Chains A and B, each alone.
Chain A
Amino acid sequence: MILRQTREETHEETYDCRDAFADELVRLARADSRVVAVCNDSVGSSKLGAFAAEFPDRLVNVGIAEQDMVGIGAGLANAGLVPFVCGAATFLTARALEQIKADVAYSLANVKLCGMSPGLAYGALGPTHHSTEDLSWLRAIADLPVVVPADPAQTRAAIRWAAETEGPVFLRIGRFPVPDVSPPGVPAFTYGRAVRLREGVDATVVATGTMVSRAMRAAALLEERGVQARVVNVSTISPLDREEIVAAARQTGAVVTAEEAVPTGGLGAAVAEVVLETRPVPMRLLGTRAFAPTGEPGFLLEHFGLTADGIARAVLEVLGLDHV
């Protein structure tokens, strides 16, 4: 296919959002003595080294014990602190799912759950380490905002919002390198609002996290084919910005979703629910639909079609143009 030649060729500068997270958390801790960090032997992978150096008493490393970690987070919140509970997203969410539901969300505990290195970030470490179900699981829990920043600016803004807002939050902090996607001049993150990054009339690509920059490149490829694709960055998966999704369906008539996760229950399902309830249009839900084979993250994204090419192909397919 003609699109293949441009696959993943980019000269953009990319960032690990954990660095923005770690830096902003230290800033927050300097300004507010209630801010504490909790982790599961993940000082390195959660990038808490600088925090630990500056605030050794305010880092609670519980060891390899995620249920304990989330319960302790709820207890710290009860004591009046603002805990950022950090661990690899796959273990934080899967091992402590009931604690997240009962101790945090149902208890309305002021806990900021930070799922690090989500999606396929752990690459060849395999499906046991891929956090691809977290969005589905957490989106099903009431009163738990699920926030997925797409770049460093969104990461900083999202954790500032989380610290200032009383109540539970899950933040999915990416490790996979991403370029800046936030447009200048608008707030990098507004809770519950999706950001329209590119206008288009033929179809909409709704993407989150690492897939947002890929969706933008897909739109550029599609433009070469004469297809005007809108791109929407959903950084709050739950609660979803229904108005923006309905507008996409009404105004462009076709929707493709893209996420580094299973679309079953995740962003894809969330968008599909709104589209189905309000303005049914043809859709394609891109994501990880199986346990991944062995390979590095970039390879795995290719494998699942989670590339600019893959997204562009899905748009052509949903428009019935794939054989043209």
Chain B
Amino acid sequence: MRPSPTTITAAPPGHDVTDLLPDHDAIAEWRGLRERLARADRDAAAAALAALAGGIRRTVISTIAGAGLGHAGGDLSVTDILATLYGAVLRVDPADPGWPDRDRLVLSKGHCSVALYTTLSTCGFFPAERLSTFAAPMSPLNGHPSRRSVPGVETSTGPLGHGLPVGVGIAVGLRLRGSAARTVVVLGDGELQEGSNWEAAMTAGHRGLTSLTAVIDRNGLQQGARTSATNELEPLADKWRAFGWEAVEVDGHDHLALLDALTAPHDAGRPRCVIARTVKGRGVSFMEDRVEWHHKVPDAEQARSALEELR
């Protein structure tokens, strides 16, 4: 048989998704939260974001325990960052994931897919019930996020050091198209050891990409050991500044601090790096700051205990 010109699955400008469809009830609920947050005072906003993050954490634990696969430690360190972004910052439309002027979130630390999937389903990009298929045969929810199958995933990640160059390209492209949409790349600190990040950092600084924000989930641990024991990253903020970025350091579990860092106007002509100091395994005492929880899966008793702590 001759090869068909349609051998490639034609990808529409947005996404090629037939399996995971928007959950309109969840979208309505998320929009309600966004409206409440827009009117809320700081205490109320902090409480609402904490509640959102708490729900995501519990679902992360039950999803990983159910699937027998996942990266619980990193999922829990990045949760408050994702909750703040999707709860209060990013302009996205879960009913129309390919909306051309949407803000873009690139999860460079793709191993923390469960935190992303849970956050996306909370916003209504797809029904939360589908999370139970995570890592199951033929599920759209792969161990690492795929742009092919998950609405809201902008680029397929997993191998480290890929997100920032893609984010730089998005920011350059949106600017060329005259769009005001923002691009946020969430990076692990360990993956900054990949040189591709610094190639991209150089380009972003050189091009003055004001619409680009990098958020570093600075939990200080990588798969095998502390980052400081493996290949030291400090002085981290100075490195970004030297590449033409502004850099701020915040408590990555303080929703209001994150909110301020993610919404303050950028210095003219500078991309922003938010170094979010986090704790791997945050919220579960026996996981916190423990390197083995990089990709250890809780057994039934550990999961029950973790959910109890996260209640």
Contact = CB atoms under 8 A, between A and B. Distances in A.
Interface of A: 36, 57-58, 60, 62-63, 65, 67-81, 83, 98-99, 102-103, 106-110, 143, 145, 165-168, 191-193, 236, 239-243
Contact of B203 (A58, A68, A98): A68
B68 interface: no
B169 A74 contact: yes
Interface residues of B, number: 47
Given A75-B173, A145-B8, 19 more contacts: A68-B196, A68-B200, A71-B196, A72-B169, A74-B165, A75-B155, A75-B168, A76-B173, A77-B169, A79-B170, A99-B196, A103-B156, A109-B11, A165-B5, A167-B11, A191-B5, A192-B3, A192-B7, A243-B2
Given A80-B177, A106-B156, A60 B172 contact: yes
B249 interface: no
Contact of A107 (B12, B148, B165): B148
B203 A103 contact: no
A68 B155 contact: no
- Residue of B12, B159, B168, B173 most packed against chain A (CB within 10 A): B173
A103 B173 contact: no
- Residue of A60, A79, A80 most packed against chain B (CB within 10 A): A79
Contacts of A193: 2
Contacts of A60: 169, 172
Interface of B: 1-5, 7-13, 16, 100, 104, 146-148, 154-159, 161-162, 164-174, 176-177, 179, 183, 195-196, 199-200, 202-203
Given A75-B173, A78-B173, A102-B159, A67 B10 contact: no
A39 to B, nearest CB: 13
14 contacts: A68-B165, A71-B196, A74-B155, A75-B165, A75-B171, A79-B169, A79-B173, A79-B179, A102-B162, A103-B156, A103-B165, A106-B146, A109-B147, A167-B11
A8 B224 CA distance: 58
B12 to A, nearest CB: 7
Contacts of B154: 78
Nearest to B154: A78
A65 B199 CA distance: 6
B166 A192 contact: no
B176 A71 contact: no
A94 to B, nearest CB: 14
A109 B177 contact: no
B164 A71 contact: yes
B207 to A, nearest CB: 8
A107 B155 contact: yes
A256 B179 CA distance: 53
Nearest to A109: B155
Contacts of A143: 7-9
A72 B165 contact: yes
Contacts of B4: 192
A176 B176 CA distance: 35
Contact of B199 (A57, A62, A103): A62
Contacts of A72: 165-166, 168-169, 172, 200, 203
